[in-house]
Chain A
Amino acid sequence: MKKLIGFAIAVVVIVLAVFGYVKHQEASSTKVANKPLVIARANDVVGLDPGFLTENAQVVDNIFDTLVTRDKNEKLQPGLATSWKQIKPTVWRFKLRKGVKFTNGEKFTAASVKFSLGRVLNPKNNAPTASYVSTISKVNVVNSHTVDVVTKQPDPLIPTRFNRYPTEIVPEKYVKKVGEKQFAKHPIGTGAYEFVSWKKGDSVTLKANAHYWDGTPAVKRVVFKAIPQTSTRIDALNNGEADIVTGVSPEERKSVKQSTTARLSTVKRGGNIVYVGLKTNVKPFDNVKVRQALNYAINKQQIVKYVLKDSAVATNSLSGPKDAGYTGELSGYAYDPAKAKALLKEAGYPNGFTATLDTVNWYADNTAVAQAIAAQLKKIGVNLKVKNIESSVYRASVPAGKQSAMYVLGWSSTNTLDADAAMYAVLHSGESYSTYSNTTVDQQLDEARTTSDLAKRKQLYASVEKTVIQDAPRIFLYQENTYYGVSKKIQWRGKIDASINVKDISYTK
């Protein structure tokens, strides 16, 4: 027994010694100034080549520059291009910034732009995001610092497209020398940050580019860390191990708000516009009165307030307030179950009907929302069976049209901040995510896509929205907010385009 006690004591002593050592290490390490800024996200990156991303561009956008950037109010402003102009309906001319170099010394010229776009547009390369630039037919070099972007049809969105992946500018000589695979592991760009290391499954470390054309940033070193478990991510923030955490869920807002060392950054309507899609060619949803009845039967204000605890904003709009082409909030269907019942009766369903509603965990509290919808529709005699579908299954079944006739879906302008991206794919007939078909809407969406005059585009979108609200191919619900946790040691707020430009971050003094 003595041996046992001795052993137990030894174990305790060793553990305490180790902890003591750590404490000591921590104490001495905090003395060293310039600890790297840590940004904790749910996933590690899988590749760092901006032309071939299968994820968002949060990390690579710090290593690379785009021709066009956005200012604090999301207005387009010069980046690697100093100015741009539509010189012909199908030609946009970009004047490029002179004297910019990649961090390996390679010069940034018009040829870099041609090369960067060319490899994405080449169908042999199967670039995952080629569709974002598919309107472009070619890039012509005019002189060393001028390029012409030629489009297949007039495209008003060219400046917007050159703000976003896959149009980051990459160094031609370096990419050709090391090959695309090596480039994705060790990228080199003109950006404010330079790649240092990538510890697979764990983190990517960047350091400030001392020769950056727009001035050296305040944060000298930044680590993008992968912490998949949401609660661990919040713990890391509250524990001072992370300075920014992304993907704070609505129920975790409280935990961040109560923190003494961090604060919550809310991006109002920074997420998806969530709705219940209706297959307009399937009975009984082929009848517009049924679709309108469903809208009258839903009290979305109540859902937003009590189910979502105000983590979203109820809306009938088809685009977000920051999107180019946004036409303001529209009044739609006020909650009126009596009217809903009357409409169902007119449509020939006096006793309601039974249907299945598919939902998926891409949206906050999706099951609770679906159940609230089911409960509200039950009041007009519509019995819903809620089916919660696994994420990757849903991702494949919806574009294939294999989902139920009622399905929850969220859409937004996915970082382009333009109404076209928010509407076209979910409303134009024949698009993978659209279960609606209206020739007027199709024609107006097509026209808005090729019209350069913003006022004219707004008119077209306003008309589309009016028709869509009348036609009700969906149950209008809400647009989600997004949340970040931010350490009080730094100055930064979440952006509507989900970007994290580390060069804009400063330390609180």
Chain B
Amino acid sequence: MARYLFKRLLQSIVTLWCVLTVIFLLVRLAGDPAQLMLPVDATRHDVVALNASLGLNHSLGVQYWDYLQSVVQGNFGESLYYKQSVLSLIAERLPATLTLAVVAIVIAIIVGSLMGIVSAIKKDTWIDRLSTSLVFLLQSFPAFFIGILLILIFAVKLHLVPTSGNATPVAILLPAFTLAAYPIAPIARTMRTSLIENMGEKFVLANQAMGFNDVDIVFNRVLKNAMLPVVTVIGLELGTMIGGAVVTETVFSWPGLGQLIIQAVQKRDFPLIQAGVIIISAFYIIINFGVDVLYLYLDPRVKKGGASR
């Protein structure tokens, strides 16, 4: 058990280092930030001077080594625009993104699981087909489309919620529903497949023979077993949501990490882009790690190292 966790930790560190290296090189391929920081009518001399003061006139190797050293010491640098430590900038924005992601995933879990369960119980009936197509529909609409549609209906026509921002608690409803639309599909589908698979087990047949009805069997006997693959999917989707809230945050002016990073990319704010991507990757890794640990409890076979997942 301890050895397993240690191995996973080591893997995580190596992954993060790879992410760091790739993003470090990528942002530098994209061009230098000094030109973008200065007004359009700045002189060439200003650009050169600013680049030098940002330390971007050193060779790539020197810059990389410096960056690696400071990151190991927990220093991710200062934003070129905000003139503030990037970690504090990210810390300011992270709660908004996390709240949005958690509320969205809760919505997705409730709606997705219910749809999956209904589909499984009513397998191959019109209800199943309706539910499955609905899920597909939600998944195939891009977030900005659903977002704008929701704003038009619930904010502009019905005046139920504000169009944007996070000033009031209810303002989270539209962005959360928008963000939830995509993961509802994989959750529902996995739930349906997994339930149907489990419903074929012999103990279910025995239960049915004893006269229990299907709903009872699903909720009281099969659901826990069927949850295993669903937990994996939920974990993966949550990770994706933290990084993937960008479009939703933009549509609804949600002041989260996604918006911050998008602006950083547009302005070539190197330290901020680097730290933002590394932090999001770290979240993804932590969530995956959490899912693995959860497995140990849900599926005793993993603990024994017997079955692979």
Contact = CB atoms under 8 A, between A and B. Distances in A.
Contacts of B83: 47, 180-181, 184
B205 interface: no
Interface string B95-132: 01000000000000010001001100100000000000
Contact of A54 (B81, B117, B162, B164): B81
Nearest to A202: B255
B253 A232 contact: yes
Contacts of B32: 396
Given A22-B160, A235-B151, A235-B163, A200 B92 contact: yes
A131 B37 CA distance: 13
A392 B162 CA distance: 32
Nearest to B111: A11
Which range contains the number of A residues in contact with the other chain? 35 or more
B170 A199 contact: no
A7 interface: yes
A2 B47 CA distance: 69
A26 B155 CA distance: 13
A225 interface: yes
A200 B88 CA distance: 11
Q: Identify whether the interface residues of B are mostly helix, strand, loop, or mixed.
A: helix
Contacts of B161: 19, 22
Interface stretch (A121-129, A318-326, A363-371): A121-129
B82 to A, nearest CB: 5
Interface string B40-76: 1111101101100100000000000000000000000
A225 to B, nearest CB: 7
A325 to B, nearest CB: 16
Contact of A47 (B39, B82, B266): B82
Interface stretch (A236-244, A273-281, A439-447, A480-488): A236-244
B168 interface: yes
Contacts of A229: 144, 164, 250-253
Interface stretch (B182-190, B256-264, B276-284): B256-264
A19 B253 contact: no
Contact of B259 (A7, A128, A201, A400): A201
Nearest to A1: B215
B268 A392 contact: yes
Interface in A4-36: 4, 7-8, 11, 18-19, 21-23, 25-26
A46 B81 contact: yes
Interface of A: 1-4, 7-8, 11, 18-19, 21-23, 25-26, 43-44, 46-47, 54, 123, 126, 128-132, 180-181, 184-185, 199-203, 225-229, 231-232, 235-236, 238-239, 241, 391-393, 395-396, 399-400, 414, 421, 425, 432-433
